[in-house]
Amino acid sequence: MRDSVTNPGGGALVDELLDLALEAAERAGELLRDGRPEDLAVAATKSSPIDVVTEMDLAAERLITGFLGEHRPADGFLGEEGASTAGTSGVRWVIDPLDGTVNYLYALPTWAVSVAAEIDGETVVGVVAVPMRGETFRAVRGGGAYVNDRALRHRPAPPLEQALVSTGFNYVQSVRDHQARVAARLIPRLRDIRRGGSAAVDLCDVAAGRLDGFYERGLNPWDLAAGALIAREAGALTGGRPGRPASGELAVAASPGVFEPLSALLEEFGAWHDGRG
């Protein structure tokens, strides 16, 4: 275990959770970066034939849950590839062992390991490791956000028409079609739209001032938990439909000043709708 990271926002338990999250994400990132086979194959599909799981997703989740379970056997787990236990300690780990699986499958660099810790249902620690960038993002509730050893702050808010915003697309074709129509209506109102392929990385890029905003429908708790905390601790705003928290219906993160006008357009254009019915 590495030396404890200075954490102005937490006590001994949060320090322990942060150290464990950092170590677990680093180990999984090294496995994924160094162990990727040249003939990497799809192990299974989820919602559609393009929503894939590789053998490495499964191996990374086993590594993370095994490591955390060894150190904290009473904790619960929620993981993208099936880890789900209630635990008895009040702590639950929310894990995406490989966010950006399709990028990883194609040897594109934008993928990440996301590890968050909740205490009594509230996210208190978030770590997103992006191995191909050599970056590890981290945050604790009330303690700020960092990438490696550099403090993060959101980008100063431009007028909406000068904002660079990222999004993602669902794997179900009818939902993708609707999302593309929303994006087509948004593009004339923004500087431009990006599609990186990893929600966790997009949220961290909002925190780092590399994006003015991000939105997506259809995200799961493991997509959001760590990255959303990092974005908030860097001063960005996060939420869902107006007045609601981020959820699978809609997740939005943006610099203050961009968040409200972007959210208003997303509501007007029906970005929260799945395009069916």
Query: Does the fold of domain 160-269 match that of domain 12-151?
Result: no
CATH topology of domain 160-269: D-Maltodextrin-Binding Protein; domain 2 (3.40.190)
Q: Judge contact between 40 and 52, C-beta under 8 A.
A: no
Boundaries of every domain in the chain: 12-151, 160-269
**For the chain, where are the E strands, in sequence order?**
42-45, 52-54, 76-79, 84-85, 91-99, 112-119, 122-130, 135-140, 145-147, 150-151, 164-167, 192-194, 213-216, 237-239, 251-254
Tens digit of each residue's pLDDT, the chain (277 residues): 444 455 656 699 999 999 999 999 999 999 999 988 777 766 555 544 544 567 888 899 999 999 999 999 999 999 987 768 889 999 999 999 999 988 998 899 999 999 999 999 999 999 999 999 999 999 999 999 999 999 999 999 999 999 999 999 987 788 889 999 999 999 999 999 999 999 999 999 999 999 999 999 999 999 999 999 999 999 999 999 999 999 999 999 999 999 999 999 999 999 998 766 5
The dihedrals phi and psi of 216, each to the nearest 5 degrees, come to: -165, 145
Question: Which DSSP category does 169 fall into?
Answer: -
- Predicted pLDDT of residue 174: 80
Task: Report the alpha-carbon angle 47-32-253, nearest 5.
Answer: 60
> 12-151, what's its fold?
Fructose-1,6-Bisphosphatase; Chain A, domain 1 (3.30.540)
Structure tokens at 190: 């923004």
Which pLDDT score is estimated for 2?
Answer: 43
Q: Give me 85's structure tokens.
A: 């236990």
- For residue 273, the model assigns a pLDDT of 86
CA atoms within 13 A of residue 79's CA, in its CB half-sphere: 24
C-alpha to C-alpha distance for 116 and 243, rounded to whole angstroms: 24
Residue 8 has what pLDDT? 57
Q: State how far the Cα of 268 lies from the Cα of 67, in Å rounded to an integer.
A: 45
What is the three-class DSSP state of 120? coil
Cα–Cα distance for residue pair 131/100, rounded to 1 Å: 12
